Amino acid sequence: MTSLWWIRRDARLNDNPALLEAQGDGPAAAVFAWSPAVRLWSGRRRAHLARVLWSLSEDTGRSVGVRHGDPADVVLEAAREVGATVVCAQHEYSPSGLREQRAVEEALTHDGRHLRLVGSPYAVAPGRVLKADGTEYQVFTPFRRAWRDHGWRRPAAPADPRGFVPVSSDIDLDHDAALGDIQDPLGYPPPFTETAWLERLSDFVAGPLAQYTSERDLPNVDATSRMSIPLAYGQVHPRTLLAAAEDAATANPDLSASAATFTSEVAWREFHANVLFHHPDALRTSLRQVIPDDAWATGKEADDAFDAWRDGRTGFPLVDAGMREMAATGMMHNRVRMVVASFLIKDLHVPWQRGADHFRRGLLDYDDAQNQLNWQWVAGTGRDAAPYFRVFNPDGQGDKFDPLGAYVRRWLPDLDTPAYPERIVDHQQERQIALADFTRGKRPSPQS
């Protein structure tokens, strides 16, 4: 009996328990639903997704079906076509992923079929790591300790690339118009095959990992893994990252500290997914209110400030370089993401949601949980967030992390010319305003 693999955020052959389950009794059929939700993604992300699916299709002898439509319709239709009574898929935990899988489950059950959810996009599924009293961890460090104590399996065996029953597609992935729209900061297009990303991971572990602790904050150095891209599309599972770091440290104990720092960064990804699982409304709503509502800039003043930030024309080089890097490449270094986010919220007094929306349109590695919860972290409204009174100084951050100015010069050809914009605000003044807002926010309101 053929089973169907419903491809979700797991378009890969390696370390894929849902696919292995589907291939358990022999060749499986596979289908991806190019849903109305995907049609709302930025052109850049859609183009990358098309390449990812094209690459999976090539790896499987062009057997994978990619079809327009709601997952509930696409999956049911494909299951009927191949006679699958069981559909295997990765369990998602985001609000939209949960909604989607409930709809698919309902459609299949109605038709006498069964959805089997196997594995998740995380080393430890959200909701599983809990305190002894059964409640969620609010603070990162104890979460990370409990997460590590919980542990995870080694990566699953690779699936059989020939073990597929062909399913037809109604999307021609080769002809996706926007394929050429992405550049890489280092001058080559970002990889989009699973094999290329696994090679990149091996190269990272054999090279930059050794300096990861000291260099990962330097935006001009190729010091980080860039795995957020394949993680966002499910081409690599975080277990594979964790195993690569662990194996490197076992083979060479000098790498232990770097491997631990890298593992800790992956733990942030798991922490944010966990917070979103417990608080689905954190996608739009601050988990804590730290400043009064009337502190935000409004009207034309806010719109002009936002436009200057979005276009990389604030007159603050590190902020402008980051925004222009994202516009050109879909990527921005983590340190610079923190600086530009802090600048929008605390220097321009624009609510974090507006910045997060812009990142959704700009980032290639966009991920609901990671983006929204990182914005909340910078805004001081999230779980275990940076305190609101910590206001990044864009010049100080530049001096510290880009001391020779190589990063800002790469993205700002106009920097030392009269064309470079004047500063739109005085950082010290805006910082004082942000701190005063915070103090007001701590005072009980007259009504309470």
Q: Which of residues 143-202 bind ligand FAD (CB under 6 A)?
A: none
Considering only residues 213, 256, 334, 353, which one is a binding residue for ligand FAD as defined by CB under 6 A?
Answer: 334
Q: Under the criterion CB under 6 A, does residue 9 sit at the interface with ligand FAD? A: no
**Is the C-alpha dihedral spanning 95, 97, 102, 103 positive or negative?**
positive
Q: Which among 153-161, 175-183, 357-365, 414-422 is the span making contact with ligand FAD, rule CB under 6 A? A: 357-365
Q: Under the criterion CB under 6 A, does residue 359 sit at the interface with ligand FAD? A: yes
C-beta separation of 321 from 290 below 8 A: no
**Beta-carbon-side half-sphere exposure of residue 339 (alpha carbons within 13 Å):** 29
Tell me how far, at minimum, the Cβ of 369 lies from ligand FAD, in Å.
Answer: 8
C-beta separation of 280 from 99 below 8 A: no
- Binding to ligand FAD by CB under 6 A, coded x per residue (else -) over 18-57, reads ----------------------------------------
CA distances from 270 to 148, 185, 297, 356 (A): 11, 27, 33, 19
Tell me how far, at minimum, the Cβ of 349 lies from ligand FAD, in Å.
Answer: 17
Residue 109 tokens read as 């059950």
Considering only residues 50, 165, 227, 245, which one is a binding residue for ligand FAD as defined by CB under 6 A?
Answer: 227
3-class SS at 28?
Answer: strand
| CA pair distance 279, 283, nearest whole angstrom | 8
| CA pair distance 93, 21, nearest whole angstrom | 20
Tell me how far, at minimum, the Cβ of 76 lies from ligand FAD, in Å.
Answer: 31
Q: Under the criterion CB under 6 A, does residue 374 sit at the interface with ligand FAD? A: yes
Q: Which among 274-282, 330-338, 427-435, 440-448 is the span making contact with ligand FAD, rule CB under 6 A? A: 330-338
Q: Under the criterion CB under 6 A, does residue 59 sit at the interface with ligand FAD? A: no
Pick between residue 220 and residue 370 the one whose CB is nearest to ligand FAD. Answer: 370
Tell me how far, at minimum, the Cβ of 199 lies from ligand FAD, in Å.
Answer: 15
Residue 273 tokens read as 């997914």
Q: Which among 87-95, 148-156, 160-168, 368-376 is the span making contact with ligand FAD, rule CB under 6 A? A: 368-376
Tell me how far, at minimum, the Cβ of 165 lies from ligand FAD, in Å.
Answer: 33
Considering only residues 375, 392, 407, 411, which one is a binding residue for ligand FAD as defined by CB under 6 A?
Answer: 375
First to last CA, the chain: 64
Considering only residues 6, 137, 309, 366, which one is a binding residue for ligand FAD as defined by CB under 6 A?
Answer: 366
| CA pair distance 334, 174, nearest whole angstrom | 32
Pick between residue 21 and residue 320 the one whose CB is nearest to ligand FAD. Answer: 320
C-beta separation of 106 from 98 below 8 A: no
Q: Under the criterion CB under 6 A, does residue 397 sit at the interface with ligand FAD? A: no
Considering only residues 365, 376, 391, 401, which one is a binding residue for ligand FAD as defined by CB under 6 A?
Answer: 365
| Helix runs in 60-122, H state only | 71-82, 95-110
Considering only residues 341, 345, 408, 412, which one is a binding residue for ligand FAD as defined by CB under 6 A?
Answer: 341
Q: What are phi and psi of 114, to 5 degrees?
A: -140, 135
| Residue found under tokens 């239709």 | 77
Q: What are phi and psi of 67, to 5 degrees?
A: -135, 145
| CA pair distance 302, 309, nearest whole angstrom | 11
| CA pair distance 430, 349, nearest whole angstrom | 8
Q: Under the criterion CB under 6 A, does residue 316 sit at the interface with ligand FAD? A: no
Pick between residue 144 and residue 216 the one whose CB is nearest to ligand FAD. Answer: 216
Q: Under the criterion CB under 6 A, does residue 371 sit at the interface with ligand FAD? A: yes
Q: Under the criterion CB under 6 A, does residue 329 sit at the interface with ligand FAD? A: no
Q: Under the criterion CB under 6 A, does residue 228 sit at the interface with ligand FAD? A: yes
| Helix runs in 279-329, H state only | 299-310, 317-329
Q: Under the criterion CB under 6 A, does residue 363 sit at the interface with ligand FAD? A: yes
| Number of residues binding to ligand FAD, judged by CB under 6 A | 27
3-class SS at 170?
Answer: coil
Pick between residue 122 and residue 164 the one whose CB is nearest to ligand FAD. Answer: 122
C-beta separation of 127 from 46 below 8 A: no
Q: Which of residues 229-268 bind ligand FAD (CB under 6 A)?
A: 231-232, 265-266, 268
**Is the C-alpha dihedral spanning 283, 289, 294, 300 positive or negative?**
negative
Tell me how far, at minimum, the Cβ of 265 lies from ligand FAD, in Å.
Answer: 4
Tell me how far, at minimum, the Cβ of 425 lies from ligand FAD, in Å.
Answer: 20
Q: Under the criterion CB under 6 A, does residue 76 sit at the interface with ligand FAD? A: no
Torsion of CA 147, 148, 150, 156, to 10 degrees: 110
Tell me how far, at minimum, the Cβ of 266 lies from ligand FAD, in Å.
Answer: 5
Q: What are phi and psi of 117, to 5 degrees?
A: -95, 125
Question: Which parts of this chain interact with ligand FAD (CB under 6 A)?
Answer: 216, 224-228, 231-232, 265-266, 268-269, 272, 334, 337-338, 341, 359, 363, 365-367, 370-371, 374-375, 378
